């Protein structure tokens, strides 16, 4: 294959974090923007899970964190993999506990699950008390693997989020939203279908 293919969806936080790592690593892919309500058969053929992101490259990688690690193993100019082992534990905690609570809060307006998710966010706020990022003054994999979900949580009820006592977390998120890398991964692409001209990312 001349170039990897990434099936993606602009607003999906899993696809967002995959694109972040691909962009940071400078790994060029053919981007195929998918509508989740009208999935391309090529996506389903590549991965029966039929969820984004899916990277087709000498096989199929259909877990976003695996895509991040694959890209950064190829090239890591920003040093995102330079983090303590605790960073991986934090990502697991985010994916296995925070994200499920976020989903229930978002889709069922569950105050209980909002409170559960908020406990994780308060812990992140404490970690950010004396540093710009979760593990120091430079972003790492943990920051970029978690922050897209924090953004999703924040925009469920932005007024409520902004009123909470987590200023360090809010600054961390706002800096990310205002960053060039965020702007670069959030470019709008039309829905892909077979026969379309190739769209490259980044």
Cβ-contact 201, 21 below 8 angstroms: no
CA distance 8 to 31: 7
- The pLDDT, as a whole number, for residue 186 is 98
Cβ-contact 156, 106 below 8 angstroms: yes
SS3 38: strand
Domains in the chain with CATH codes: 5-77+183-201 (3.40.30.10), 85-179 (1.20.1050.10)
Helix ranges (H only) for 47-155 are: 64-74, 85-93, 99-108, 111-127, 141-154
Task: Per-residue pLDDT tens, the chain, 202 aa: give them.
Answer: 579 999 999 999 999 999 999 999 999 999 999 998 889 999 999 999 999 999 999 899 999 999 999 999 999 999 999 999 999 999 999 999 999 999 999 999 999 999 999 999 999 999 999 999 999 999 999 999 999 999 999 999 999 999 999 999 999 999 999 999 999 999 999 999 998 999 999 9
* Six token digits for residue 44: 């389903």
Residue 186 CB partners (closer than 8 Å, separation 6+): 10, 16
- The pLDDT, as a whole number, for residue 1 is 53
């Amino acid at each position: 294959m001349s170039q990897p293919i990434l099936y993606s969806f602009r607003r999906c936080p899993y696809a967002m974090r995959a694109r972040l790592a691909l962009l940071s690593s400078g790994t060029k892919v053919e981007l195929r923007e998918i509508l989740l309500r009208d999935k391309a058969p090529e996506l389903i053929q590549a991965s029966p899970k039929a969820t984004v992101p899916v990277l087709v490259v000498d096989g199929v990688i259909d877990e976003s964190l695996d895509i991040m690690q694959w890209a950064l193993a190829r090239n890591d100019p920003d040093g995102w993999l330079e983090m303590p082992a605790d960073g991986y534990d934090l990502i697991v905690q985010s994916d296995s506990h925070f994200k499920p609570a976020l989903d229930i809060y978002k889709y069922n307006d569950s105050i209980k699950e909002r409170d559960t998710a908020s406990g994780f966010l308060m812990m992140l706020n404490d970690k950010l008390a004396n540093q710009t990022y979760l593990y120091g003054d430079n972003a790492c994999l943990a920051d970029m693997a978690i922050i897209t979900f924090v953004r999703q949580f924040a925009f469920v009820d932005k007024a409520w989020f902004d009123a909470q006592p987590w200023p360090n977390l809010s600054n961390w998120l706002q800096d990310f939203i205002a960053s060039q890398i965020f702007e670069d991964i959030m470019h709008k692409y039309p829905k892909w279908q077979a026969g379309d001209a190739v769209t490259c990312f980044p």
